[in-house]
Amino acid sequence: MTRPGNILLGVKDISLRFGGVRALTDVSFDIHEGEIFAIIGPNGAGKSSMLNCINGFYHPQEGTITFRGQQRRRMRPYEAAAQGISRTFQNIALFRGMTTLENVMTGRMLKMQASFVEQALYLGRGKREEVAHREKVEEVIDFLEIQSIRKTPVGRLPYGLQKRVELARALAAEPELLLLDEPMAGMNVEEKEDMCRFVLSTNHELGTTIALIEHDMGVVMDLSDRVVVLDYGKKLAEGTPDEIRGNQEVIDAYLGVSHD
Amino acid sequence: METLYLIFIDPFVQMAIEPAFLAEVLIGGLMSGVMYSLVALGFVLIFKASGIFNFAQGVFVLFAALNFVGLMDLGVHPILAFIITLGIMTALAFAVDRLVLRPLVNQNPIILFMATIGIAFFLEGFGESIWGGDVRPVRVGIPDTALFWETGFGEILVLSSDLFAGVIAAFLVTVLALFFHFTPVGRALRAVADDHQAALSVGIPLNNIWVIVWAVAGFVALVAGIMWGAKLGVQFALSTIALKALPVLILGGFTSIPGAIIGGLIVGAGEKLFENYWGLPLLGGATEEWFAYIVAMIFLFFRPQGLFGEKIIERV
Ligand SMILES: Nc1ncnc2c1ncn2[C@@H]1O[C@H](COP(=O)(O)OP(=O)(O)O)[C@@H](O)[C@H]1O
Ligand SMILES: [Mg+2]
């Protein structure tokens, strides 16, 4: 079910090193508008590093990243977010002292037009905006079915729900590109099914382009339109789930299990 | 035997015999504790938001007070002087951000700490060159009359200025709490304090946040400076007194706002109690200077994260 949309994000010849560790070597791929794009590979293959490059946490030593036709060598996370890239983290990174609602509200931060001073003093425009953003946030909360935990401090939520709140925060920004780093890791079967459903409906109903990292091959095959396989920081293969499933190199890399 | 009696029995006997005196000591202690709380609050705000231990916070208190008093001595109305000083503290926050923090971003925390020591000495000297080194009384019209409070167990003397300081501090803490919990910027500040990476990923501009935090810390310093100045006069020893915030932080935890407040109250009340019931009879007094530091050290052995601080876990 490949949808040949325009290229939304182009990754070209990316190399990233940490001292002597080559986290990524000459990796290239394109993510098209409207697709669900999976990044797979054994532990330590460089998948998270790739997402970190895309949203500006890491700056690759070589290569370019083009988003919506604009080429960026070094982009800061703030700029990535402002351009419509949202993400979740492999290790949940929620604001633990806040409630679900407050966490999701932070996702609207960049959409707020009132000046910082207006916001700080909660004057006219700042206040009106807050109300409008609350509505959008409630929509997202309904969409992900987390109404019942709106006022709960996220630190108290079970793991699966925390992951969902993290997704809600990312969606509140109405991103064009959503990066999900192992959104289903550590979940039980039921939680996984829920999360799959939400990923699909985000893609279908909201039209959000999604790049996701996932270990469960069943999930990857069900969800994604295209897959790229990384191994030791290099691109091993790229294609539709069916193509990847039949690729001997991929099978070897996977059966050779993890590197760390 | 005699010593043991003086340590373990006599103080409590005294407290029981003269509860009114005990109450006065406690109230006096809590009032100076409020001041410690305010300074500690400034430390915590900056530490939470930027992970920087701002050694200069004590000097901020002095610097703010100096400017405020200096302006008033020039004939500026107290309210106007307050607003101008607030402007100066905000400008200072900008300057610190641009000239010190941004160039040093991503450096080792110890380097940023050293930078704040630099800021502290610079501001102290700069303040002295502008306003001179004399002790200046603050006359903001806080009445300094003695109030007598009749209770069932005797008459308690309370200074109205102490009472006033307590009310202002409580008000300030309430305003800050509301700001942090009910405004978008407050939410952004808490977000940054909770998780830098996540804050960046939702597009919170760290730099703006830092300026705001430093400005808020400047504001807190100004209030503390005025109140302290009203009690003791504005003098350079203020910055040393402000260092009492360190034991307060160790007690309360470096990342906890309630911890800073309660820690300040405990230190303030504790040192006055110790001085009056143990220090004076046993050691001839002058224990207030070091009591807090000893308590803090003992605390470090048993609960290094403080009363309210989060467990110290090395970040990876
Ligand atoms: N911030 C970092 N500092 C040093 N090395 C890192 C850092 N981030 C990732 N690496 C290294 O890069 C390699 C790829 O890691 P990562 O991208 O997390 O892999 P994956 O997500 O595929 O499991 C690993 O060897 C890891 O140790
Ligand atoms: Mg990873």
Task: Please write the tens of the pLDDT for every residue from A7-31.
Answer: 999 999 999 999 989 999 999 999 9
SS3 of B306, please?
coil
Quick one: pLDDT at residue A243? 92
Q: Does A120 touch chain B (CB under 8 A)?
A: yes
SS3 of B273, please?
helix
Number of domains comprising chain B: 1
SS3 of B132, please?
coil
Q: What is the mean pLDDT of residues A211-235?
A: 93
Quick one: pLDDT at residue A116? 57
Bigger pLDDT: B152 vs A234 = A234
How many CB pairs (< 8 A) connect A and B?
84
Question: In percent, how much of chain A has pLDDT > 70?
Answer: 90
Quick one: pLDDT at residue B16? 87
Contact call for B185 and A57, based on CB within 8 A = no
Which of B187, B194, B197 shows the shortest C-beta gap to A105? B187
Q: In the structure encoding, which two tokens stand for residue A118, read together?
A: 């207006």
A256 has pLDDT over 60 = no
Query: Does residue A47 line the site of ligand 1, with CB under 6 A?
Result: yes
Q: What is the mean pLDDT of residues B267-281?
A: 92
B314 has pLDDT over 50 = no
Quick one: pLDDT at residue B10? 87
Q: What is the mean pLDDT of residues B267-279?
A: 93
Q: Specify if B223 maps to a domain.
A: yes
Going from the Cα of A106 to the center of ligand 2, the distance in angstroms, rounded, reads: 24
Which of A78, A81, A130 shows the shortest C-beta gap to B184? A130
| Candidates A78, A103, A125, A133, partner chain B, best to mutate (most B CBs within 10 A) | A78
* Integer Cα distance of B239 and B120 in angstroms: 9
Domain CATH for B67: 1.10.3470
Quick one: pLDDT at residue B316? 38
Query: Does residue A25 line the site of ligand 1, with CB under 6 A?
Result: no
Q: What is the mean pLDDT of residues B223-241?
A: 82
Q: What is the mean pLDDT of residues B257-269?
A: 90
Neighbours of A159 (CB within 10 A): 13
A121 has pLDDT over 70 = no
Contact call for B202 and A169, based on CB within 8 A = yes
**Which residue has the CA at smallest separation from atom 12 of ligand 1?**
A23
Which of B184, B186, B195 shows the shortest C-beta gap to A112? B184
Q: A120 pLDDT band (50/70/90 cuts)?
A: low
Query: Does residue A116 line the site of ligand 1, with CB under 6 A?
Result: no
Q: Specify if B39 maps to a domain.
A: yes
Bigger pLDDT: A121 vs B83 = B83
Quick one: pLDDT at residue A114? 54
Q: Specify if B164 maps to a domain.
A: yes
| Candidates B201, B209, B212, partner chain A, best to mutate (most A CBs within 10 A) | B201
**Which residue has the CA at smallest separation from atom 21 of ligand 1?**
A48
Q: What is the mean pLDDT of residues A216-237?
A: 93
B43 has pLDDT over 60 = yes
Residue in chain A nearest B197 by alpha carbon? A93
Query: Does residue A44 line the site of ligand 1, with CB under 6 A?
Result: yes
Nearest 5°: CA angle at B77, between B71 and B80? 80
Quick one: pLDDT at residue A117? 59
Quick one: pLDDT at residue A239? 94
A204 has pLDDT over 70 = yes
Asked if B177 and A50 count as a contact pair (C-beta separation under 8 A), the reply is no
Q: Specify if B256 maps to a domain.
A: yes
Q: Specify if B206 maps to a domain.
A: yes
Quick one: pLDDT at residue B171? 86
B18 has pLDDT over 80 = yes
Q: What is the mean pLDDT of residues B105-134?
A: 88
Quick one: pLDDT at residue A146? 96
Distance (Å) from the alpha carbon of B239 to chain A's nearest alpha carbon:
29
Question: In percent, how much of chain B has pLDDT > 90?
Answer: 26
Residues of B in contact with A98 (CB under 8 A): 187, 190-191, 194
Q: Specify if B40 maps to a domain.
A: yes
Q: What is the mean pLDDT of chain A?
A: 89
Going from the Cα of B203 to the center of ligand 2, the distance in angstroms, rounded, reads: 22
Query: Please, which residues have CB within 8 angstroms of residue A55's CB and are 6 or more apart in sequence?
Result: A77, A80, A81, A85, A87, A179, B201
Q: What is the pLDDT of residues A53-102, one digit of tens each?
A: 999 999 999 999 999 999 986 788 988 999 999 999 999 999 988 999 99
Q: A115 pLDDT band (50/70/90 cuts)?
A: low
A1 has pLDDT over 80 = no
* Integer Cα distance of B206 and B52 in angstroms: 13
Q: Specify if B316 maps to a domain.
A: no
Which of B183, B199, B203 shows the shortest C-beta gap to A119? B183
Paired residues of A211 in beta bridges: A37, A179
Distance (Å) from the alpha carbon of B230 to chain A's nearest alpha carbon:
29
Quick one: pLDDT at residue A166? 96
Q: Specify if B60 maps to a domain.
A: yes
Q: Pinpoint the alpha helices (H) of A6-112.
A: 47-54, 77-83, 100-106
Q: What is the pLDDT of residues B78-94, one digit of tens each?
A: 999 999 999 999 999 88
Query: Looking at domain A1-84+175-260, what is its CATH homologous superfamily?
Result: P-loop containing nucleotide triphosphate hydrolases (3.40.50.300)
Quick one: pLDDT at residue A2? 46
Q: A259 pLDDT band (50/70/90 cuts)?
A: very low
Highest mean pLDDT among A9-13, B177-181, B206-210: A9-13
Quick one: pLDDT at residue B156? 83
Contact call for A105 and B184, based on CB within 8 A = yes
Neighbours of A186 (CB within 10 A): 11
Delimit the CATH 3.40.50.300 region(s) of chain A.
1-84+175-260
Bigger pLDDT: A45 vs B133 = A45
Q: Which of A14, A21, A43, A55 to mutate to test the pocket of ligand 1 (most atoms within 8 A of CB)?
A: A21
Domain range enclosing B225 = 2-302
Quick one: pLDDT at residue B275? 94
Distances (CA, A) of B245 to B34, B62, B249, B296: 11, 14, 6, 11
B41 has pLDDT over 80 = yes
Quick one: pLDDT at residue B104? 83
Query: Please, which residues have CB within 8 angstroms of residue B69's CB and are 6 or more apart in sequence?
Result: B131, B136, B137, B138, B229, B234
Q: What is the pLDDT of residues B122-152, one digit of tens each?
A: 999 999 899 888 888 877 777 777 888 777 7
Q: What is the mean pLDDT of residues B200-226?
A: 87
